[in-house]
Amino acid sequence: MLTFLVLWAVVLVSKSYGDLQCVENPVDLVFIIDSSSSIFPNEYVRQLEFLETIAGALDVGHLQNQSRVGVISFSDEPRLEFTLNQYTERSELIAAIRRINYLSGGTNTAAAIQLALETMFNEESGAREEAKDIIIVITDGESFSESATKASAQKARELGIFVLAIGVGVNVNVRELNLITGNPEHVYQVLKFEDLRDITETLINKTCTETFITTSLPAVQKDLPHNESSTFESCDEKPADVLFLLDSSSSIHRNDFKKQLNFVKTIVSAFDIGPEKTTVGVSTFSDDFRLVFNLNDFTTKEDILGAVDNVPYLRGGTDTGFALKNIREYGFRLARSNVAHILIVVTDGLSRDPSDTLLQASLLKEIGINIFAIGVGPFIDKKELISMASSPTEDLNFVFDVSTYDALKSVENLLAKRTCQIAAKQMDSYALCIMEKPVDILFVFDSAAIGYQDTKLILNIIKSFQKLRFENAADIHVGVVSYSCTSNGDFPFQPPNDNLLISFDKFASLLKRAKTFKNSARSNAVRVMVLLIDRNLTNEDELEILEIKTVVDRLYMIYLGENHTKENTLTISSLNAQSVFVKSMNETEDLSNYLQNELCFDID
């Protein structure tokens, strides 16, 4: 006990609940918290801190329009910690939560729910007809009896009590959590007790603002208790880029692989397919990775369904991390910028390198990819699934766990619905660079001729390189030369910032100065020059550019305006430079994405 008290002294600090305030709707909220031996004392403290934060966001009080909180803890047997009307001052309630002792023992979830029904939701304990009745069950394991737990929870729902369940760690029984709530949308999973803080705001919003439907749901399906096939048909033209990553390792029989493909076809059938609607790609993995067809390869539903039928079976190991790395580098390179970006991973086993899988999934999520993870069979690693998937939100969970490939049918409609709920978001497709070498890039343009407003747009392109993050030790340094009066000294190659301009009096002078690029660039860096050209080049200009090509590793010729064509730039194109034609400065975002794509993925 002394150790436990010391942990409290270390962990408990004054809390500010900030914007997490719930004052609109009164609730009668009962926490049922796991206090079994599988939970270490420091983890138990994290659980109590989570309760404290939720309670601190409620408008707790004795008035009829205020909220009330009760707590039951459980191990082998449940224990009533305090009823709804025992602490009606927020400070007293939080102090009472902090005093809850750790029990140790087994996991008798059914008895805890039954105790809540018997002791909490009555007038004597402070329950009110006008308040919403809510139970939040938190557990890290499997209960003594799934059937008894199901029966107690179903009775609670039949009485009009809304039930949420939170599973912590890799040993939770997801099926049982679904049985407790009667709806997988009301189940939350986190890897560790300290991760409870990641869903705090979601739970507060759910508790405060949700219009709860507490009628009992239909009988439980094979792997999920609520199959929504009767309520969901299509995405109503909501655009998305959806990529499937299918396990094709040797642990999957050919017939089961075919069931994966049928699963994909059912999901695709719910989408509105088209270039301006939803696009679909499919990839497979084992030891190897194969991008079977890309997001823009097929533009009709019929063509996609036909292509899915022809996806080849690979065989081999389960290198999920390698597959996710390839998805990041190649899978979404043709994605649109302002739609939902979704990756659906189906796997039946532990990956070859779990740490790499976690890293690659994190990098995908960083650039705006929403990841659904579907585990099939008894050999999946739940921890890996939760780590791979996107974090749950108020309305969405991203992890599915089914017992067989036949059971994929039980989640088809729910998954299709969830993909349609993903909000459109700007995807920073090239936010993560995978260069093997550092890059020094010099931008050269005549700001006087281009004008103030367009110069600002160009500088914004250059400064956009600030958002780049690097997988390796490589990085990008940027320099700029532009028009005005002569400046001496080396180019100030540096990470992108607001003070980049060095100025010269005419374009040829800019080019002459640019030839000294190699003297200022880092010795180990790839030297890249970007010339932004707004005029017809003179013979002198072309001669300077010919010499520039000898001192750089890569040259980009960006022609600005409508007067440039491939025909009148033949001389320069013979340099083997990359030529890009930008008709309007309104296309600067496309130019920025093009350059970042080139620099982040194609530098060697």
Q: What is the rounded average pLDDT for all residues in the chain?
A: 79
DSSP structure class, residue 329:
I
Return the sign of the alpha-carbon dihedral for residues 494, 497, 499, 504. positive
- CATH fold of 2-209 reads Rossmann fold (3.40.50)
In degrees to the nearest 10, what's the CA dihedral of 310, 314, 320, 321? -100
> How high is the pLDDT of residue 9?
30
In degrees to the nearest 10, what's the CA dihedral of 57, 62, 65, 69? 40
Which CA distances in Å does 183 have to 223, 224, 267, 422, 546? 12, 8, 20, 19, 68
- Mean pLDDT of the 68-77 span: 95
| Residues whose CB is less than 8 angstroms from the CB of residue 559 and which lie 6 or more positions away in sequence, other chains included | 533, 569, 579, 580, 581, 582
Same fold across 2-209 and 240-426: yes
Q: Show the DSSP H helices in 236-288 as ranges.
A: 254-269
Of 168 and 391, more confident: 168
> How high is the pLDDT of residue 359?
83
Q: What is the CATH number of domain 240-426?
A: 3.40.50.410
- Amino acid in the structure at residue 86: Q
> How high is the pLDDT of residue 394?
63
**C-alpha angle 203/208/210, rounded to 5°?**
85
Of 51 and 237, more confident: 51
End-to-end CA distance of the chain: 60
- CATH fold of 432-601 reads Rossmann fold (3.40.50)
> How high is the pLDDT of residue 8?
34
For the question of whether the overall pTM of this predicted structure is more than 0.75, the answer is no
Question: Range with the lowest mean pLDDT among 56-70, 306-320, 348-362?
Answer: 348-362
Q: Is the pLDDT of residue 18 over 50?
A: no
Percent of the chain exceeding pLDDT 90 equals: 32
| Residues whose CB is less than 8 angstroms from the CB of residue 402 and which lie 6 or more positions away in sequence, other chains included | 223, 224, 374, 375, 376, 408, 410, 411
Q: Which two tokens stand for residue 212?
A: 């709860």
Q: Is the pLDDT of residue 69 over 90?
A: yes
Cβ atoms 346, 260 nearer than 8 A: yes
| Residue boundaries of the structural domains of the chain | 2-209, 240-426, 432-601
Percent of the chain exceeding pLDDT 70 equals: 77
Q: Is the pLDDT of residue 546 over 60?
A: yes
Cβ atoms 430, 593 nearer than 8 A: yes
Cβ atoms 427, 597 nearer than 8 A: no
> How high is the pLDDT of residue 220?
26
β-pair partners for 461: none
Residue in this structure with the two tokens 């239909």, named with its chain if needed: 218
- Dist. CA 458–CA 464, nearest whole Å: 10
Cβ atoms 545, 517 nearer than 8 A: no
A 10 A CB-CB count for 144 gives 13
> How high is the pLDDT of residue 35?
93
- Amino acid in the structure at residue 48: L
